[in-house]
Chain A
């Protein structure tokens, strides 16, 4: 029995820490600082990360009646999620200080959300995935509206909740149809059931519904409409979390479902993903061009990045996983970093909103501006940053799979994308026409936030200079997740014909 429990050790640690924080919250006097609870949450996250690391010794292991599978793929995402949550907690430790007395709930909710996300990545049973998805979604719904009393925060929360529940319903419906068609909700059984099913149309429909459900979670176009409003209204550290960790988990689920659940339907879903990827990149980038609000702009940019990531999925089988994993990690590092910097610049009241508010930040807070600039360069995809190698691997995987046009569209899109990042970057470094009073030169970056910024910046830089190690881990997780098709020569044939 004991190894069974060990497979869920990180989730258990996080849940327990969250519960303790929830219990401790009302015991603390209403006026006292909630920071100790934050530190407790950080400790819990660290412990969960260590527990995931400890799981590497297990190899591939199933438990809980085959619903949970711990392998290097799940551990990769566990560690990634733990890292994102850790940085988010560090950056928001002082965020609520003096503004909200319910900060304890925030820390607990973050941990519960992380539990759900982690559960998603190690489940190989669709209903289990659904449970994880719900756990993570519900906590993010609440966190989106955490700046209570602000209309935009409430709007964000309600919008996210309504549309999110709708999308989850699609996902659930997809699971039901998959069960109806193949007789199982276990991913590996689905893949077997597909070969003998009497209702392939139903199976295809189930796949379509599942893709819609996950497409919403990763904010891929055309399921992206909620993103800008929610990102604009939610607190900046929450957006940093929301735009990376649940997305990473959802992408991991999508990888598992597509690559090991429906591999035989590859030609059909690859076409679907192709369309989603192109739409997301284009809609995201064109949308971002129009924005003056920095958070909205980054919301559209996250749609575009979901599109780049989806490009990797068309590179079936093994190249795709490794590059998608790498991209997720790189995107997480730079985006969480960017939002951490924005949290520090704008503060709880979000005084600096539009691009113009960031004008001449480099004069007042040179280090912070340099760090934000570095993350923006990484988002553009300038060499020697994680963002560059992310794009590089994704598009080289696509080209290797013979998707030349997808790569061309994607890279042209990254050309468009550089325009809006650059606008912000140029604003940071240009002299103001009139005195810019939106950014405060006197506030200093707190120590935990400085640690968070350093961690993300170093991670972004390392991913850009020495990507070998992370890519090796990603490659390894790809190898265990998917038992590649025996039809290897077929894949090469597409390379030859399509690249002409």
Chain B
């Protein structure tokens, strides 16, 4: 039997097996770290199987490496996993960030290592599960599961006394919209009798889910809001600064961005294409406002981590802007930018973590003039911020360029104004990043920096950072390697949404004249039950 059929299961559950293994091993010496590193490396190597065996000639909208088994008979829930161009690189990215996260926590986590690495691996399982699930129920299970290890990581390993509050805030922000998401899912199931994403998407394409526009609207909002909170998009980002400033570095690297953005691209656009297109003007506005708001908030922060948190808000807003433009280049750019955010944000938080390990503070006023003492760190910092601000030749440029050009060509209302505004705000991103570098690394040597004689990067830290730095460059120059798969998915999403829009207009016209469409979906529900 070909490994293609079970590779996704292996990828998803190797970390789980690893977590069980770590639970059995004693918390002595460096056993836990090496164990976690080994498990995450194995997972990463497994994820590399996906791009090397990806079939670029497969028809658009099809899934690869699928496994589809019956899990629960009634209600009909299947263990259905698979990837396409959209999720494949996200899986690889998740695989890559995990060993780096372990490396960066090597010394930062100095007690209760066992608990830390178990939770870290469980978080990994949940994230991989989210990206590969094609059964809505299975997806939801992983989605909810992803909250638990993260909340516990914040509650246990948070930096200040505020950690318990931050953990609960993070959990509540995500859990309450998820409860509504569950209502939406159950409603979908009651209409269609299936949780299977490809089937639901097919039904959505032929407008067979429900003929009631109000119900469809409510359901689509239930989905979208749950995802937007997780992204987080302005103005639903309340949990982000607290959670980011408390959470340990390895957890912060994966806290925002890709899970929510992926879910919007996959489920909101796939199951509710018409509604997504209708709400696009609002989302473009929120995206553009989010970019500016994030950048402005970042400018006034004194805490490095909070600055990075608001920066993250700005970056994910760029993705929101791009994907809701519904042009091929906008969506491609959005997906690419999601990857960039994972890499760039990851690198930034790692570097901040390194600084914290050395100087025990995130307060920018305590820093200054470190450039001469820490040449490697400052080099990495500058490279990262150039990537984040979108310097040509680096990865950020590719993503942002595609997003803004895609938004400009969009047919969504008011797109020009928002694009102009968003593009202009790139200058703000550059200013807060560069200003931060100036304040931390240049100028006079601050008292704290002078007192503490810190080392430059160690070999382990080099090892953790170089893959990301290398990716900045590769993804900037050789973007077609990644774009090839992304473009298939992006073009498919754009077509789906735009086609649904065209048909919806016709449908509106026809329903006004003709009789209402019969409830075909309900008939099928009866049949299956």
Would you list which residues of chain A between 213 and 239 have a CB under 8 Å from chain B?
none
Contact with A along B161-180 (1 / 0, CB 8 A): 10110011001100110111
Q: Which residues on B sit within 8 Å (CB–CB) of A404?
A: 183, 187
For the complex, what is the distance from the CA of A219 to the CA of B75, rounded to whole Å? 30
A199 close to B (CB within 8 Å): no
How large, as a class, is the contact surface on chain A?
35 or more
B72 close to A (CB within 8 Å): yes
CB distance A429 to B152 under 8 Å?
yes
- A399-B183, A415-B175, A500-B215 known; A425+B141 contact, CB < 8 A: no
A143 close to B (CB within 8 Å): no
Among residues of A, the one whose C-beta sits closest to the C-beta of B168 is A422
- A418-B175, A425-B152 known; A399+B187 contact, CB < 8 A: yes
Would you list which residues of chain A between 353 and 391 have a CB under 8 Å from chain B?
362-363, 366, 377, 380, 382-384, 388
Binds A, one of B3-11, B96-104, B142-150: B142-150
- A399-B187, A429-B156 known; A422+B171 contact, CB < 8 A: yes
Contact with A along B478-493 (1 / 0, CB 8 A): 0000000000000000
A23 close to B (CB within 8 Å): no
CB distance A408 to B183 under 8 Å?
yes
Q: Which residues on B sit within 8 Å (CB–CB) of A466?
A: 72
Q: Which residues on B sit within 8 Å (CB–CB) of A305?
A: none
Among residues of B, the one whose C-beta sits closest to the C-beta of A391 is B182
- A404-B187, A414-B179 known; A495+B522 contact, CB < 8 A: yes
A444 close to B (CB within 8 Å): no
- A412-B179, A430-B163 known; A475+B190 contact, CB < 8 A: no
CB distance B171 to A396 under 8 Å?
no
Q: Which residues on A sit within 8 Å (CB–CB) of B115?
A: 362, 366, 429
A294 close to B (CB within 8 Å): no
B519 close to A (CB within 8 Å): yes
Among B73, B183, B189, the most chain A Cβ lie within 10 Å of the Cβ of: B183
Majority SS at the chain B contact face: helix
B140 close to A (CB within 8 Å): yes
Among B147, B158, B179, B182, the most chain A Cβ lie within 10 Å of the Cβ of: B179
- A382-B145, A422-B168 known; A411+B526 contact, CB < 8 A: no
B155 close to A (CB within 8 Å): yes
A295 close to B (CB within 8 Å): no
For the complex, what is the distance from the CA of A425 to the CA of B152, rounded to whole Å? 8
Q: Which residues on A sit within 8 Å (CB–CB) of B190?
A: 396, 399-400, 495, 499
Q: Which residues on A sit within 8 Å (CB–CB) of B526?
A: 492
CB distance A411 to B179 under 8 Å?
yes
CB distance A384 to B182 under 8 Å?
no
CB distance B183 to A468 under 8 Å?
no
Among residues of B, the one whose C-beta sits closest to the C-beta of A466 is B72
Among residues of B, the one whose C-beta sits closest to the C-beta of A389 is B72
Contact with A along B126-160 (1 / 0, CB 8 A): 00000000000000111011011001100110100
Q: Which residues on A sit within 8 Å (CB–CB) of B171?
A: 418, 422
Q: Which residues on A sit within 8 Å (CB–CB) of B155?
A: 425-426, 429-430
CB distance A407 to B186 under 8 Å?
yes
* B480 to A: closest C-beta gap in Å: 38
Q: Which residues on B sit within 8 Å (CB–CB) of A415?
A: 172, 175-176, 178-179
Among residues of A, the one whose C-beta sits closest to the C-beta of B73 is A468
| Interface residues in chain B, defined as those with a beta carbon under 8 Å from any beta carbon in chain A | 72-75, 112, 115, 140-142, 144-145, 147-148, 151-152, 155-156, 158, 161, 163-164, 167-168, 171-172, 175-176, 178-180, 182-183, 186-187, 189-191, 212, 214-215, 519, 522, 526
Closest 6 CB pairs of A and B: A383-B141, A415-B176, A411-B179, A426-B155, A415-B179, A429-B156
Question: Can you list 18 A-B contacts with CB-CB less than 8 angstroms, sorted by A residue number?
Answer: A388-B144, A395-B183, A399-B183, A399-B187, A399-B190, A404-B187, A419-B168, A422-B171, A422-B172, A426-B152, A430-B156, A430-B158, A430-B163, A471-B72, A471-B74, A499-B187, A499-B191, A500-B214
